[in-house]
Amino acid sequence: DWTMAAYREEAIRLIREQVGDKQVICGLSGGVDSSVAAVLIHEAIGDQLTCVFVDHGLLRLNEADEVVTMFRDHYNIPLIHADEADLFLGELEGISDPEEKRKTIGRLFIDVFQKYAGDIDGAEFLAQGTLYPDVIESVSFSGGPSVTIKSHHNVGGLPEKMGLKLVEPLRELFKDEVRALGHELGLPASFIGRHPFPGPGLAIRCPGEITRDKLEILRKADAVYIDQIRKHSLYDEIWQAFVAILPVRTVGVMGDGRTYDYACALRAVTSVDGMTADYYPFTHEFLGETATRIINEVKGINRVTYDVTSKPPGTIEWE
Ligand code: XMP
């Protein structure tokens, strides 16, 4: 009779057996998979685990603080916060091509991870939150069998490059089982139920050139949108929801003045696995209320649109 409690015990036994008294590095993204892996491994081997959290400056409002607080302060897991926003945003300056953005971020991510992980003495293992679906077909999130739609951000190849052996305690689990395991390990429900967030972060929700100004506006608008979704109890019905800031400014009127600010697009989809998706049928009332709130609360945005494209032919992210 298979239970999550039994899985947890067995996984802990196997991690101890594999790792012995050696040091393990875990790349923490703040997502559910790497978080569950980190907490499980920490339970197995305690301070032999060090997490490296690469902060590329493309995270959502307060996200970096929340990750650091949860892991370092709440779970007492040794955590290196690699705050490299200046590096990433500097290198991304002037780049508008989506693939070039993705490749730049992927390359820097590996450099930064290697740099910080290299400081951890005697590390022999790299922990990853790889799931069963990633094992059976290295998930490409592409739209067709042979065309690459997007260069997927991952750290494949890193273990060999760094001469590390892999620890992958979630290899046999599906997403819903990882959530159940996270629950079993005491991770907060609000954290376990979080929508997926892409590795390249807000970079791919900011079509055109990325600037600090645009990122700040985007973070605020996104926070208002998600707050609206939570207030209307829609969060758990939606696979993923976010704002994209558009590379276009439009004319508006506020009070008796003219405005010339950015337009943004709201995105929300339902999906089973992210491979196909339908846009979420919000009511007009919800959309109108959300638009009003964003324009009133977020300086820099004066127009809100709703993206009614399903996948295919659209993709979930804008880039
Ligand atoms: P698309 O935009 O391809 O996205 O329909 C499908 C799902 O994958 C996420 N996504 C990524 N996740 N690294 C990730 O870890 C990436 O480079 C990446 N690109 C897209 C996206 O958020 C959606 O859930």
Residue 287 lies in a domain: yes
CA-CA distance, 305 to 251, in Å (whole number)?
14
Which residue intervals of the chain are DSSP H helices?
A: 4-19, 32-45, 63-68, 85-92, 98-117, 132-136, 158-162, 175-184, 189-192, 212-231, 284-297
Residue 136: per-residue pLDDT: 73
Checking if the pLDDT of 144 tops 60, the result is: no
39 and 168 together in one domain = yes
The pLDDT value given to residue 64: 96
251 and 186 in one domain? no
pLDDT band at 154 (very low <50, low <70, confident <90, very high): low
Same domain, 162 and 222: no
Q: Do 282 and 163 share a domain, yes or no?
A: no
Q: Please give the pLDDT value at position 107.
A: 95
175 lines ligand 1 (CB under 6 A): no
Q: Would the CB of 141 count as within 6 Å of ligand 1?
A: yes
pLDDT at 143 (0 to 100): 40
Final residue in a domain of this structure, among 162, 192, 222: 192
Q: What is the pLDDT of residue 281?
A: 98
**CA–CA separation, 182 and 165 (whole Å):** 24
For the cut 90, the answer to whether the pLDDT of residue 151 exceeds it is no
Asked whether residue 241 falls in the same domain as residue 285, the answer is: yes
Check which CATH number belongs to the domain holding 277 and give it.
Answer: 3.30.300.10
38 in ligand 1 pocket by Cβ < 6 Å?
Answer: no
217 and 145 belong to one structural domain: no
Note the pLDDT of residue 119. 87
Ligand 1 and 129: CB distance under 6 A: no
The string of pLDDT tens digits covering residues 51-70 is 999 999 999 999 999 999 99
201 is a domain residue:
no
User: How many Cβ atoms from other residues are within 10 Å of residue 311's Cβ?
Assistant: 17
**Which of 135, 159, 192 is the last residue in one of the domains?**
192
Whether residue 19 contacts residue 167, with contact meaning beta carbons closer than 8 Å, is answered with yes
For residue 234, what pLDDT is reported? 98
Domain limits at 258?
211-306
Q: Kindly state whether residues 281 and 159 are assigned to the same domain.
A: no
Domain check: are 227 and 291 in the same one? yes
Q: What SS3 class is residue 256?
A: coil
Give mean pLDDT, residues 35-39: 97
Section 69-86 average pLDDT: 94
Q: Assign 74 a pLDDT band (cuts: 50, 70, 90).
A: confident
Residue 314 falls inside a structural domain: no
> For ligand 1, is residue 196 a contact (CB within 6 Å)?
yes
Among residues 52, 60, 31, 35, which one has the least CA distance to residue 201?
60
pLDDT exceeding 90 applies to what percent of the chain?
Answer: 84
CA of 76 from ligand 1 middle (Å) equals 30
Judge whether 200 lies within some domain: no
Show which of 159, 192, 225 is a domain's final residue.
192
Looking at residues 183-197, what average pLDDT do you find? Answer: 93
Residue 139 pLDDT grade (very low, low, confident, very high; cuts 50, 70, 90):
very low
pLDDT surpasses 60 at 108:
yes
Q: Strand, coil or helix: what is 116?
A: helix
Q: At what angle do helices 98-117 and 85-92 cross, to 10 degrees?
A: 150
Whether residue 24 contacts residue 34, with contact meaning beta carbons closer than 8 Å, is answered with: no
Residue nearest to atom 19 of ligand 1 (CA): 198
Question: How many domains does the structure of the chain reveal?
Answer: 2
Question: Is position 319 within any domain?
Answer: no
The CA-atom distances, in angstroms, between 39 and each of 45, 78, 122, 226, 231 are: 10, 11, 21, 26, 30
Q: Ligand 1, from 141, 153, 197: best to mutate by most atoms within 8 Å of Cβ?
A: 141
Q: Are residues 231 and 112 in the same domain?
A: no
**Quick one: pLDDT at residue 142?**
41
Is 142 part of any domain?
Answer: yes
Same domain, 278 and 228: yes
Question: Looking at the domain assignment, is residue 146 inside a domain?
Answer: yes
SS3 305: strand
Predicted pLDDT at 305: 98
- With b for 16 or more beta-carbon neighbours within 10 A and e for fewer, the 260-279 pattern comes to ebbbbbbbbbebeebeebeb
Q: Look at residue 73 and tell me whether its pLDDT is greater than 70.
A: yes
Residue 198: inside a domain: no
Q: Which atom of ligand 1 is nearest to the CA of 311?
A: 5
Do 128 and 33 share a structural domain?
Answer: yes
Q: Which residues are known binding-site members for ATP? A: 29-35
Q: What is the CATH number of the domain that holds 143?
A: 3.40.50.620
Residues 103, 100: Cα–Cα separation, whole Å: 5
Q: Of all atoms in ligand 1, which is nearest to the CA of residue 102?
A: 17
Kindly indicate the confidence band of residue 162, based on its pLDDT and cuts at 50, 70 and 90. Answer: confident
Residue 263 CA to ligand 1 center (angstroms) comes to: 23
Residues 128, 18, single domain; the answer is yes
Half-sphere exposure of 272 (CA within 13 A, CB side): 3
Q: Ligand 1 centre and the CA of 10: distance in Å?
A: 31
